[in-house]
Structure 1
């Protein structure tokens, strides 16, 4: 914190969670990249595509399911990781995991149940969207 002249707050939380989650996303995307056929990229170069065109029109659509899976995993890990948030939040930052933790110290209230239900519905909705998007990519319907 002293080297970057950074104070505890929302920026420090974002940096900490990004640092923590980037490894999980990298592993998922790397596994997807290793399974790709190199001849697709050679064909794009032979047809005169620039590196940016090759990435945007070939690579990105092929790795999009892995990027979405990594984003969902990062979201889940960030919501779940209380310790990182607690030590990087600073004073007075209203962060959801900390708020839930303070609410359940005494008893599980209806508010905690409502927040848990909303988080579960949000996660299920994101999973359904990702599954439908992934199946449309596999069928060749997405462009």
Structure 2
């Protein structure tokens, strides 16, 4: 992603301002393929006859989607979102190369603080990140069990 922005600048001569928008675009470009694979697997295992049955019983397209399709593929969507979040949080390099001045991102801040010394602040941030990640995994498991 960072290489793509550098290539665009080199070929076109257009300078791209590095800020939060460039980081978001790069993380989306990096994570989208992983999300597509997870959601596609969920859709592949989906029984299309359920949609046909709902439409035979009088449901329109939106009702069929929100009442039948979406609840059945929700675990795949949540799994893809969790995977994208984890990859985005872990990919320090994209955040470092594409964040501009004045843009403060958690992975870059943790890296900068750890370079100096491991402080109680870093320990607290790491603990919060671990708790957040474990909570999201627990939420994913809860959603899958409800299915």
Same fold (TM over 0.5): yes
Structure 2, unpaired ranges of 5+: none
Q: Which has the higher helix share?
A: 2
Unaligned runs of 5+ in 1: 139-143
Q: With the length of structure 1 as denominator, give the TM-score of the two structures.
A: 0.87
The answer to whether the aligner puts 1:68 opposite 2:78 as a matched pair is yes
Aligned length: 137
How far residue 104 of structure 1 moved from its aligned partner, in angstroms, is: 1.2
CA RMSD of aligned residues (A): 1.8
SS of 1:44's equivalent in the other structure is helix
* 1:32-43 equivalences in 2 (<5 Å): 32-43=42-53
Deviations 1:117-143 (Å, cap 9, x if unpaired)?
11001111111122112212x2xxxxx
In structure 2, the residue matched to 1:97 is 107
Instruction: Give the structure-2-normalised TM-score.
Output: 0.85
Partner Cα distance (2:125, 2:53) in 1: 50
Structure 1 residue matching 2:95: 3-state secondary structure:
helix
1:68 positional shift: 0.8
